[in-house]
Structure 1
């Protein structure tokens, strides 16, 4: 891998920690004069409920999508990330981040990590999933409260 990045993708969960992840990615993108994109992945409601609900969840999924786009804009707009580089996708987070990164020639993915270990790591996290399937560099930014431990 080259030390020069051309396209940096920031994957966020829309929590307050999203700003920390973005703050780490922006200087890297600027230093490399790289394109900067930001992505949030919504899990399909059908996955959450196992497809057992006998009703159309489309309107609810659309509302969740609209809310996520609004929240993503609140995070990205202050840093000048254009709306066309703000992406909300539906699917499994690690799979969708990998797909996006390949499709749009991303060469650095920046994701937040709570530094889990032990059972929490075995149960999986988005950052672990992204790391283990990425075709490019991944920067895991430690997030959470200062001095907070995950046990």
Structure 2
């Protein structure tokens, strides 16, 4: 069962529709969670100390914060929702730091944030702030697009198996459990998707009596057995279990597209230090490639 008590819905002043609030409301309807409707604003003219006096800077800051609060309050009233929604506006330069700090301060257990295309020539949906939030958050993060969730949609869960460390194996179980809970919450069909690496081509030439087809089938069977065990636990139909050869950043988006996923559930182990500054780990490559919403399980 998917549960959460407090959702941090991060707004984007540049978007006409606040998809993060709409998704948070949908979840709150089922879980009775409280929503913290959050906006982080900053005006660069605030730094123009040579032009503005300290009083003028303070008054400008207060006026902009109050204006944003009124705007969000009006949005909540316009939606005429029954959920418990509190509006919080922070004045801060770095969005991702404000989001993480606010999530911690209000003890939220889910962050919901909208994403968008950055321009006609950009293929990426996500900003550096999105990635920083995903990497540094200690709670689950949902990145949402501008489409509507249907009444009976499709949830795809990216399932990793046969990991060599307990952390990733534990994460796979948590991802499956979260995906199952969300599919029940949204009355959606659940799919489990997994990929495996086939035999390198050069091995067939260099190693006598090596048969790539036999090797690949053996690896696929091992992966399939593990995924089917999870599927049985969470009552996922056998026809909705997909174990395919290839890289996960290729296979998972293909499964999402084929079955018209509305939500992908994927796990991500938090990183720190130098590795946290690098883009391109498997989870991020998958997230950036899919067209649906994504729940990142931490």
Contact kept? 1:13, 1:40, Cα under 8 Å = yes
Structural mapping, 1:80-119, within 5 Å: 80-117=235-272, 118-119=274-275
- TM-score, with length taken from structure 1: 0.83
Structural mapping, 1:118-129, within 5 Å: 118-119=274-275, 122=278, 124-129=280-285
RMSD: 1.7
Q: What is the Cα deviation at residue 127 of structure 1?
A: 1.1
- TM-score, with length taken from structure 2: 0.44
Residue of structure 2 in register with 1:136 after alignment: 292
Displacement over 6 Å in runs of 4+:
none
Q: Secondary structure of the equivalent of 2:278?
A: helix
Aligned equivalents of 1:125 and 1:12: distance in 2? Answer: 16
1:2 lines up with 2:148 in the alignment: yes
Pair member with larger Rg: 2
Aligned equivalents of 2:265 and 2:197: distance in 1? Answer: 20
Structure 1 portions without partners, runs of 5+: 143-151
Q: What is the Cα deviation at residue 116 of structure 1?
A: 2.2
Structure 2 portions without partners, runs of 5+: 1-146, 162-168
Q: How many pairs align?
A: 138
Residue of structure 2 in register with 1:22 after alignment: 176
Aligned equivalents of 1:100 and 1:22: distance in 2? Answer: 16
Contact kept? 2:149, 2:262, Cα under 8 Å = no
Which has the higher relative contact order, 1 or 2, with Cα contacts under 8 A spaced 6 or more apart?
1
